[in-house]
Amino acid sequence: MPAATVAKLRDSIRDVPDFPKAGIVFKDITPVLCDGALFRDAIDLFLERCRTLAIDKVVCIDARGFLFGSAVAYELGLGLIPIRKKGKLPYKTERAAYTLEYGEAEMEMHIDSVQPGERIVLIDDLLATGGTSASAVTLIEKVGGILVEAQFLIELEFLHGRKKLEPAPVVSFLKY
Ligand code: AMP
Q: What are the φ and ψ backbone dihedral angles of 8, each rounded to 5 degrees?
A: -65, -40
The residues, ordered by sequence, that sit 6+ positions from 95 with a Cβ below 8 Å of its Cβ are: 86, 106, 107, 108, 139
The angle formed by the CA atoms of residues 165, 168 and 174, to the nearest 5 degrees, is 75
The angle formed by the CA atoms of residues 124, 1 and 9, to the nearest 5 degrees, is 55
Q: How far is the CA of 36 from the centre of ligand 1 (A)?
A: 23
Active site residue: 94, 101, 108, 155, which one? 101
In this prediction the pTM is 0.96
Task: Kindly give the number of the ligand 1 atom that is closest to the alpha carbon of 27.
Answer: 20
* Residues 153, 174: Cα–Cα separation, whole Å: 6
The reply to whether 157 belongs to the active site is: no
The reply to whether 64 belongs to the active site is: yes
24 lines ligand 1 (CB under 6 A): yes
Length of the chain: 176
| Protein residue with least CA distance to atom 5, ligand 1 | 128
Q: What pLDDT is attached to residue 50?
A: 98
130 lines ligand 1 (CB under 6 A): yes
Q: What pLDDT is attached to residue 99?
A: 79
pLDDT tens series, the chain, 176 aa:
899 999 999 999 999 999 999 999 999 999 999 999 999 999 999 999 999 999 999 999 999 999 999 999 999 999 999 999 999 999 999 999 987 655 678 999 999 999 999 999 999 999 999 999 999 999 999 999 999 999 999 999 999 999 999 999 999 999 99
125 lines ligand 1 (CB under 6 A): yes
* Residues 130, 33: Cα–Cα separation, whole Å: 23
| Protein residue with least CA distance to atom 13, ligand 1 | 126
Asked if residues 25 and 15 have their Cβ atoms less than 8 Å apart, the reply is yes
Q: Which domains does the chain have, with CATH numbers?
A: 54-175 (3.40.50.2020)
Task: State the helix-helix crossing angle for 36-50 and 3-12, rounded to 10 degrees.
Answer: 120
